[in-house]
Structure 1
Amino acid sequence: MIIEKNNIIPGKHNKPILTDVFFKDNKKPKPVLIFCHGYKGFKDWGAWDLMAKAFAELDYFFVKFNFAYNGGTVEDPIDFPDLEAFGNNNYSKELDDLETIIDWVTENQMYKNELDANNIILLGHSRAGGIVSIKAHEDRRVKQVISLAGVSDYANRYPISGDAEQWKKDGVKYVVNGRTKQQMPHFYQFYEDFTKHKERLNIKRAVSNLNQPFLIIHGDKDTSVLIEEAENLHKWNPKSTFKIVEGADHVFGASHPWKHDTLPEHLKKVIQLVNNFAK
């Protein structure tokens, strides 16, 4: 298996996108599975590397990356050394980053014998469930899309929800990272970008108009994104496939750091569901 960590890909907003690829070196064009991390997430979180290896073993060309403004750096891609960048992130930047990765995959001659650029699958966790759904609606290169514990609405979720006037007055609102104990900023530009692109960032609109096969996976013990959000997605796109992982939490049994050599059972189930759908 080939594992390449921390490829540096120039982003559209003056920050690089750190990217990992995992694949079997068998000169066989493979479906490209692009994974997007969620809010306060990063590509090296928890068991994501083990998940990447599992998909590579199943003969996918697996790609995962850090959104350019997720708060990581080239030198330190894990956790959030760059809170200024985190505060300047927004949904539009994340959509641009994902487009950059799709471009990189389709145009990269280095992997042309190993990937099938006509078979691109997007897999978004949590907040990125919305990002991949919107991008799939916009980009015909995407052939399948998967929402993993994904959100159904950005307007009613933090940081958009709440007192916009106070946010404008203060210029910033903070969220505490329970694990790292950092005060993580969201600058008011986040709200400005959202209101400017409200129509584009409407997940219901994107999901309702998806032409690609759409898989929704959710744990029934998810307390971060309630299963009702998955039910909404399925209602808006009745042709979608909806799979509930019984007993699973928001991260399907994983945690950070993940110090085990094997995947948690619920995440194994996710991999099985994705593979059954995609193949």
Structure 2
Amino acid sequence: MSEQTLRSESFEIPLSGGLKVRGRVKTQENGVRKPVVVVAHGFRGFQDWGFWPDVTERFAEAGLYAVSFDFSRIAASEEGLNDARVAEASTLSQDVLDLGAVVRQLWQGQLPLGQEADPARIALLGHSRSGGSSIVFANENPELVGAVIVWNGGPGPVKASTDSDLTKVQLAVALDYESNPERFDITSRFSGLRQPALIVQGDRDSERLLEFVDKLKEIAPHQSYVSIQGADHTFGIAHPYEGSNERLDAAFEETVAFLKRTYPLK
């Protein structure tokens, strides 16, 4: 593929309450409708954190329509919305709303270069906490999303009662989770997925996440699981990005292989 055919364009989706989702599309512009991968960064990340610009470009080079975005809490913080609004924007409930805004824009053909995307072949890729958000959205909207990928993540936050020194954001996140126990029971949501899913987990990640993946294997053995040897929560990558490594490359290659099995390229 020549560099001239790879396009990158930004977008912004206004939401209620002064919130907004900002994102970017990367794809080959060749008039062929492509499978879509929507990349969702982790709780402490953003769309340009570390490996994401490289990974989304590689998805585009592999023949996919790659979408990255900042959850609305990022713009809320950057634009100086009050602390209460930023805290509300940081909840799992808002994450799911943000994902919905992006996916529905895809279905409506309103994202840049939309003629290159096939909305009938959408996969969500969530890292860290966004893995859980992606599972919830896919479970609730099987007609909109056809596959789910989780990189090193998935379970909900700890309960508010376990720490008396939570920040406003942490408290809002925990209370939102506790107010929606059935909705955010990620293991139950995962077991109920109609779509194929891939769990990519570094074997040097936190014990909590390793135990979570073991539980998923028990309740949904029909789904796909990959262990990346020697990989921590970010596959050994830091920000600013200094290049890939074999652990990130392995996660990427396993993901592309899963996407091509799920959505054969035309």
Structures share fold, TM-score greater than 0.5: yes
Structure in which a larger fraction of residues adopt helix: 2
**Residue ranges of structure 2 left out of the alignment (5+ in a row):** 1-5, 261-266
Read off the aligned partner of 1:2 and give its amino acid letter: R
Read off the aligned partner of 2:220 and give its amino acid letter: N
- Runs of 4+ in structure 1 deviating by more than 4 angstroms, as ranges, are 71-75
Distance of aligned partners of 1:232 and 1:160 in 2 relative to their CA distance in 1, 3 Å threshold: farther
In the alignment, the residues of structure 2 paired with residue 190 and residue 132 of structure 1 have an alpha-carbon distance, to the nearest angstrom, of: 16
Alignment of 1:38-117 (within 5 A): 38-70=42-74, 84=83, 85-88=85-88, 89-109=90-110, 110-117=112-119
CA displacement, residues 193-247 of structure 1 (integer Å, 9 cap, x when unaligned): 2233221111011001011001000011113753222222222211111100101
Alignment of 1:98-177 (within 5 A): 98-109=99-110, 110-140=112-142, 141-152=144-155, 154=156, 157-158=157-158, 160=160, 162-163=162-163, 166=164, 173-174=166-167
In the alignment, the residues of structure 2 paired with residue 135 and residue 26 of structure 1 have an alpha-carbon distance, to the nearest angstrom, of: 30
Question: What count of residue pairs does the alignment treat as equivalent?
Answer: 251
Q: Is residue 4 of structure 1 aligned with residue 9 of structure 2?
A: yes
1:179 alignment partner in structure 2: none
Q: Which moved more, 1:194-203 or 1:106-115?
A: 106-115
Read off the aligned partner of 2:9 and give its amino acid letter: E
TM-score (norm: length of structure 1): 0.83
Distance of aligned partners of 1:263 and 1:135 in 2 relative to their CA distance in 1, 3 Å threshold: same
SS in 2 for 1:69: helix
Read off the aligned partner of 1:194 and give its amino acid letter: Y
CA displacement, residues 57-97 of structure 1 (integer Å, 9 cap, x when unaligned): 0011001111101466567xxxxx77835433211011000
Distance of aligned partners of 1:219 and 1:99 in 2 relative to their CA distance in 1, 3 Å threshold: same
TM-score (norm: length of structure 2): 0.86
Computed over aligned residues only, the root mean square deviation of the Cα atoms, in angstroms, reads 2.2
1:274 alignment partner in structure 2: 255
**Residue ranges of structure 1 left out of the alignment (5+ in a row):** 76-80, 168-172, 175-184
Indicate conservation of the 8 Å contact 2:133/2:154, yes or no: no
Indicate conservation of the 8 Å contact 1:37/1:128, yes or no: yes
Indicate conservation of the 8 Å contact 1:136/1:210, yes or no: yes
